[in-house]
């Protein structure tokens, strides 16, 4: 394949500057595919520097698809604890189970089959195809979007719309080293074309970058408005222990251990005790103390002094800390 000069410049820069990330180790094809699957799930909405220690611990304990498909949920949640967005690890296990059962233990290598797996969307599927199978896909993550917006000087709402960016990314061309090239573009955004103070002097493509030519590096961002949600959080405490339940009611923190809660719709005179941000939601929470626990079936009790001994989501731990301080 004849590669564009732009492609060659980016790959040459990558070869000298790429980070030694644990999922980039020179391993067997099967391990590389598994490492890519796990890392891409972890990297959904989480930064590389945060993921590294979790990835290392996860791979040490869950070394392959089979062990992942058989792992107990409690164990997986414990290994994931602190990364947040626990639906990712539940979907990761479901994906492993589908691969074992439907695809004979082999990670699918085409887009349609990858998209049929739990927790895998277009970006993750494209990243897996490029990195694990060296197929000619360029996954459009936040880093690559930023490089693209600056390189072509895209400012208007129509220009930075996702559909337009997907079309415009063809400017980067393709490479026979598809896996390296996808990661090279990501690295370029992460290390050089940073959100603030981009290091243009170190950039291999700055001379053709329209933002560099105009000396205007500001990015137009689409303002995402978080949904305001209101909850009554019910607290029952007895003998220095709190009552918790398994969450089967709300889509967030699904099947995890939380305080009993009730969602309200547009309440009047709602004076919240605490606020918690989760994904695209602002949780406004008012505490209600209960006098009895008779209506809760199969409650789970935790000792306030031994909170770190339990497998609890960060949300529940923060509520306990708030209660202990108040």
Q: Do residues 214 and 153 touch, judged by C-beta distance below 8 A?
A: yes
Is residue 7 exposed (0-12), middle (13-18) or buried (19+ Cβ within 10 Å)? buried
For tokens 């590669």, the residue is 3
Helix or strand (DSSP H, E) at 232: strand 227-235
Lookup: tokens for 217: 């590096």
- Name which of 169, 161, 175, 206 is nearest 15 in CA terms: 175
31: helix, strand or coil: helix
Q: Do residues 250 and 262 touch, judged by C-beta distance below 8 A?
A: no
CA distance between the termini of the chain: 66
Lookup: tokens for 99: 């691969």
Catalytic residue annotation: 40
- DSSP for 251-285? STTTTSEE--EEEESS-SS---SEEEEETTEEEEE
Lookup: tokens for 28: 């067997």
Is residue 265 exposed (0-12), middle (13-18) or buried (19+ Cβ within 10 Å)? exposed
């Amino acid at each position: 394949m004849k590669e564009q000069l732009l492609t060659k410049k980016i790959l040459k820069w990558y070869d000298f500057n790429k980070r030694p990330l644990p999922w980039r180790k020179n391993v067997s094809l099967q391990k590389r595919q598994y490492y890519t699957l796990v890392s891409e799930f972890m990297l959904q909405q989480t930064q590389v520097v945060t993921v590294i220690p979790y990835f290392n611990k996860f791979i040490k304990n869950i070394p392959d698809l089979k062990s992942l498909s058989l792992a107990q949920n409690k164990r997986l949640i414990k290994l994931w604890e602190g990364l947040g967005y626990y639906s990712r690890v539940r979907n990761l296990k479901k994906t492993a189970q589908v691969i074992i059962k439907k695809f004979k233990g082999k990670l699918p290598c085409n887009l349609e089959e990858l998209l049929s797996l739990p927790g895998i969307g277009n970006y993750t599927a494209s990243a897996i195809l490029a990195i694990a199978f060296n197929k000619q896909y360029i996954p459009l993550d936040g880093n690559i979007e930023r490089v693209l917006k600056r390189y072509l000087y895209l400012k208007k709402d129509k220009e930075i719309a996702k559909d337009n960016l997907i079309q415009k990314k063809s400017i980067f061309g393709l490479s026979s080293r598809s896996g390296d090239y996808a990661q090279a573009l990501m690295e370029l955004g992460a290390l050089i074309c940073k959100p603030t103070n981009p290091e243009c002097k170190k950039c291999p493509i700055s001379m053709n970058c329209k933002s560099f030519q105009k000396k205007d590096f500001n990015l137009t961002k689409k303002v995402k408005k978080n949904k305001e949600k209101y909850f009554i959080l019910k607290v029952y405490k007895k003998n220095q222990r709190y009552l918790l339940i398994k969450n089967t009611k709300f889509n967030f923190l699904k099947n995890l251990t939380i305080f009993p809660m009730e969602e309200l719709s547009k309440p009047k005179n709602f004076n919240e005790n605490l606020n918690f941000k989760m994904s695209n939601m602002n949780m406004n929470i008012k505490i209600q103390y209960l006098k009895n626990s008779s209506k809760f079936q199969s409650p789970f009790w935790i000792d306030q002094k031994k909170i770190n001994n339990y497998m609890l989501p960060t949300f529940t731990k923060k509520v306990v800390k708030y209660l202990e301080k108040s």
